[in-house]
Structure 1
Amino acid sequence: MIVKIPCKLWTLILSTLICAGVCAQNKFKKLSDTQFKAIVSQEFGTLMASQSRSDIGNFAGLDLKEAEASFAGSIVFKNASVLGIKLDGGSADGILPIFTSTELNSKIGLQLQYSFLVRRKQLTYESLSFEDVEMKKKELLRQFKLDSLLVERKVELVEQQVLEVRKKIVAADSLINLYRSHRYNNLQNSILRQAMGKRDSLSYELENAKTEKEKNQLMQMLYKQDALIAGINTDIKTKSEIIKMEYDRDKLKIEMSFLLSDLQELKLKDNDVVVRLESLKERYDLEKIKLESNQGDKKIIVAGYKLQWLSLGYNVKNTSFKLFNPLNSFDNQIWKDHFVSHGLTLMYSFYNLSDKEWNSRFISGSIEGALENNFSSLTKVTINEKNSFNNADDTRYGTEQYIAYTGSYRDNLETLRLNFDYYQFFLKNNFGAIHLFPQYVIKEKLKPQMNFGLGIVFSFKDKDNTSSTVNAELYYRSTDLANVSGSDKEFFKRGDFGIRLSFPIKFNTK
């Protein structure tokens, strides 16, 4: 049966994009857009990275059976949509010919995939971890304000010191002027003369007193008057004391001049205080970004989520290979060829993550339209070429081994491919999963073919660095379940075992 794929297939794929977004939240607290974006980016790059057909996440992958290496990076936009870019390349002959063949058939490809979340998204996380992050953000802000206040306080302190010194100078000037004034000196001398006159009067009365009681009273009054006179004499400043007061005042003026100079320098834009304030602000912003990106010392612990997204992808792959036709003349039996395939993919994905065993699953279904060749249906043969090097008496032989492909080769075949991926996680923290990946292929001029794959995936973490993960999948893939191609191989021999490895990557943008 020959199936012709209509050209309208491309229009159908391109016309099916619908996008709707809702902010993720639990019933108590709401994550910010930055936090949601960070968690989505981190979680998409976990166990499913490179094992499924989704190119979300940052990872390096290696398929030992296919002898193919891949490198993928993702850009997460503000609306939580993701642009995935994936490069892959390797040997079209598999892993073993790498060690035995002198020349390899190669393949290299580029995939672009734009994914966006659809419908309502559910995200649950441990409330205590969320509170820890919020408290850390508040503590960070409080510490920044305190540090900034201490730095700004330096300016206020100098201004206060200038004010206090100015008050001391004004007081010293007033006191010196008072002691130097004639009015003050005349007043002091007048008070002294009055006190001395009263003392003389008391002395005269004491000499003429007749009774003992009267003498005692006069003696007490005389003692008080002597004390008053002594105080007046003490208050009258000498010239040397006034000079000392002026010297102390001048020292205060010099101190104030230095303080005013410091104050002027502190208020300049490039002074140390402003620089320190800018440094504090940069440090605060950096720490805040880390917390918002869920990369700080306090992190929001995800308990589970349900996410659905659509993906639109484009892929291009160049495959270089040798073809072999034993019916041709010897010189024309083997020739090099290559083909560039193009494909468009529309994919729906659903990820349900739970902290309970057997409750987490990942489901993905896609439809792909492509222009391809029938390279996968060709038969692989190993070619050994022998060259002889002769002289008069001896012969030396050199051999060259490589892989070529035989069969009825066709290219530019319109292809429709239906893919399905199902991961059932069965270990705590999603450290293990069963992977089913059936596929139905309708290719122009060929019979429809059903393929099926089964794998088991494990995630291995570094005990000292839990963010360092290696994901390994041991899989068995059976091609052409119904044997529509009429192969003489038995059922299990039409399939093969393989190992896929992936290494999530965290990009450092600073």
Structure 2
Amino acid sequence: MKKLLLFFFILSNTAIYSQSVKEKPLKNKDSIVLQKKTNTTLSNKDFNAIIQTSFSKLITGQTANNVGSYAGVDIEKTEVTFSPTFILENGNIITGKMMGGISDGTYAIFNNSKLNTNISLEVQYHFLYKKTPRTIYYYQSDYDKHLEDSTKIVKDHAAAKAKILKSFDNNERIIENDKLNTENKTLDTDITALNQKLNTPITAYEKELLTAQVDNKTFKKNQNTAKIAENKLLNNDYNKLKELLKINNIRADKLNENDISKLKVAGYQFSWFSLAYKLKNDEFRLLDSKEVYENQITKDNYISHEFKTQYSYVNLNPTNYKTTYFTSSLTMKYKSNFNDLKKVEVTQTSTIGTSSNQIRETSDKFFAYSGTYKTGVTELNVDVDFYHFPFSKSAIGFHIFPKSKYTQNIKPVYNAGFGVVFPFIDKKKEKSNINAELYYNFTNIFNSNDVDYTLIERNNIGIRLVFPINFNPN
């Protein structure tokens, strides 16, 4: 009875351990020494390949260059968005974004050598920060299968190569060459005997006959020698190479399909920097009611510049089902105060005709902006975003976002907010297509604008829908 209970205890623990091994991912840190301590850790080259692939998927959602990786058209606003992506050989990423108005299906960046109106151009450069710890999580069973498949690919190629070499050592051309060599030896013997007869006293007719036989056998020997050389050339430099090239291509395709960078990743941890430059050209109408009627509406345009530096960190930990994302950015802008102006709708009426019985009125509606317009404004923004998803499958997340703005000749403005994120999960793809965030934002915390509202009243509460960063490593 005791033996039966002991056997049952061992069997139960073995089953539980086996299940935990399949579900528990391995952790592989960016340390060559640590990797060498176990037999299943990745090499430094393979580790970097997986990190770069995960980084590319996180930033762009793809692992290869795709010009025009995102494009969209807003029919109502007649605007087009074009966003190309370039992944460099060293793993760094360049992304671009162009937005502007379209006319007759075209999107002109320059018109008559001048920058088009209502257009924005942005370029971003992303690169991993390798001085911080980098970690990837992967499953032991997946890695074992990768090693098994890699070993099988190498063995299958070696077996196919040996078979080709063996077949070309015993093929028909080799056998034919053996026969031709034997025949050439016989021809050499015959030619030697004929030449000996030619050196004996014979008649002119016999000499002519023997000479013809020597020439005929010599010609046959030369034919055989040429055929032997041809067979050797075909065996060594064509057919064999052709077959070897075929199996080499098969091996290359299989190794590419089983490349370590395509290993299923359960999670990762790394950080990166992003540098960005944005140019925007706005054209608009200004309304100044203090001017005379003819000068109240004026057209203006301004090109603003924006430089941004951003640090980001992500930790997707599958062992405790927690995801953390942090980003901090510093943005310097050289712009106008266009966004601070008040947008108003203007209706401009014109009268056609001079007779009181024959008068028509036409109206033209457009938007204009009123307020004190300033250009050459320098602004500095410091933004921080911290997301934390503490539950399985990122069911609910928490968001903290303090922000500060320093504008030339204006008191600094400080905001701070927090929100609760509810991802909408696509059941088929098991990932979030859109996030809904319920947020509370304290605006103008230190009352820089000297408004009459209290701190509790100076707020912004609402719900916003955003497209989430794809933390899903697969």
TM-score by length of 1: 0.59
Match of 1:442 in 2: 406
Match of 2:328 in 1: 365
Q: Identify which of 470, 485, 500 aligns with 2:466.
A: 500
State the alpha-carbon separation in 2 of the partners of residues 347 and 63 from structure 1. 28
Question: Cα offset for 1:474?
Answer: 4.8
1:414 lines up with 2:427 in the alignment: no
Question: Cα offset for 1:420?
Answer: 0.3
Match of 2:125 in 1: 113
State the alpha-carbon separation in 1 of the partners of residues 302 and 260 from structure 2. 43
Q: Which has the larger radius of gyration?
A: 1
Match of 1:250 in 2: none
Structure 1 letter corresponding to 2:99: G
1:319 lines up with 2:282 in the alignment: yes
Structure 2 letter corresponding to 1:500: V
Q: Identify which of 169, 172, 189 aligns with 1:156.
A: 169
Partners of 1:86 and 1:112 within 8 A in 2? yes
Partners of 1:441 and 1:448 within 8 A in 2? yes
Match of 1:75 in 2: 87
State the alpha-carbon separation in 1 of the partners of residues 289 and 49 from structure 2. 58
Listed as ranges, the gaps of 5+ residues in structure 2 are 1-28, 62-67, 102-115, 188-222
Structure 2 letter corresponding to 1:329: V
State the alpha-carbon separation in 1 of the partners of residues 359 and 464 from structure 2. 43
SS in structure 2 at match of 1:145? helix
State the alpha-carbon separation in 2 of the partners of residues 142 and 364 from structure 1. 47
Structure 2 letter corresponding to 1:84: I
Q: Identify which of 85, 97, 103 aligns with 2:95.
A: 85
Matches within 5 A, 1:242-391: 261-268=230-237, 271-292=238-259, 294=261, 299-356=262-319, 359-387=322-350
Match of 1:129 in 2: 142
- Write out per-residue CA displacement over residues 285-304 of structure 1, whole angstroms, 9 at most, x where no aligned residue: 3432343363xxxx422233
- Write out per-residue CA displacement over residues 9-63 of structure 1, whole angstroms, 9 at most, x where no aligned residue: xxxxxxxxxxxx95687664124535533443335534x769xxxxxxx964889
State the alpha-carbon separation in 1 of the partners of residues 394 and 97 from structure 2. 27
- Write out per-residue CA displacement over residues 387-428 of structure 1, whole angstroms, 9 at most, x where no aligned residue: 556697666655443332222222222222111011112453
CA shift in 2, pair 1:486/1:326, >3 Å: farther
Matched residues, number = 379
Partners of 2:124 and 2:274 within 8 A in 1? no
Match of 1:403 in 2: 367
CA shift in 2, pair 1:493/1:122, >3 Å: closer
State the alpha-carbon separation in 1 of the partners of residues 389 and 48 from structure 2. 23
Partners of 1:323 and 1:337 within 8 A in 2? yes
Match of 1:194 in 2: none
Question: Cα offset for 1:462?
Answer: 7.9
State the alpha-carbon separation in 2 of the partners of residues 383 and 497 from structure 1. 32
Match of 1:141 in 2: 154
SS in structure 1 at match of 2:266? strand
Structure 1 letter corresponding to 2:328: G
Partners of 2:94 and 2:126 within 8 A in 1? yes
Matches within 5 A, 1:13-52: 28-33=40-45, 36-46=48-58
SS in structure 2 at match of 1:45? helix
Q: Once the two structures are aligned, what percentage of the paired residues are identical?
A: 15
- Write out per-residue CA displacement over residues 203-253 of structure 1, whole angstroms, 9 at most, x where no aligned residue: xxxxxxxxxxxxxxxxxxxxxxxxxxxxxxxxxxxxxxxxxxxxxxxxxxx
SS in structure 1 at match of 2:170? helix
Listed as ranges, the gaps of 5+ residues in structure 1 are 1-20, 51-57, 92-103, 174-253, 505-510
State the alpha-carbon separation in 2 of the partners of residues 305 and 399 from structure 1. 61
RMSD (Å), alpha carbons: 4.8
Match of 1:219 in 2: none
State the alpha-carbon separation in 2 of the partners of residues 317 and 455 from structure 1. 33
Moved more, 126-135 or 469-478: 469-478
Partners of 1:162 and 1:256 within 8 A in 2? no
Structure 1 letter corresponding to 2:467: L
CA shift in 2, pair 1:293/1:354, >3 Å: same
Structure 1 letter corresponding to 2:267: G
Question: Cα offset for 1:142?
Answer: 2.3
Partners of 1:105 and 1:321 within 8 A in 2? no
CA shift in 2, pair 1:124/1:321, >3 Å: same
TM-score by length of 2: 0.63
Partners of 2:322 and 2:394 within 8 A in 1? no
Question: Cα offset for 1:127?
Answer: 2.0
Please state which structure has a larger fraction of its residues in strand: 2
State the alpha-carbon separation in 2 of the partners of residues 400 and 423 from structure 1. 48
Partners of 1:22 and 1:120 within 8 A in 2? yes
Matches within 5 A, 1:462-481: 463=428, 470-472=433-435, 474=437, 480-481=443-444
CA shift in 2, pair 1:41/1:34, >3 Å: same
State the alpha-carbon separation in 2 of the partners of residues 356 and 31 from structure 1. 22
Structure 1 letter corresponding to 2:248: K
Match of 1:240 in 2: none
Partners of 1:322 and 1:334 within 8 A in 2? yes
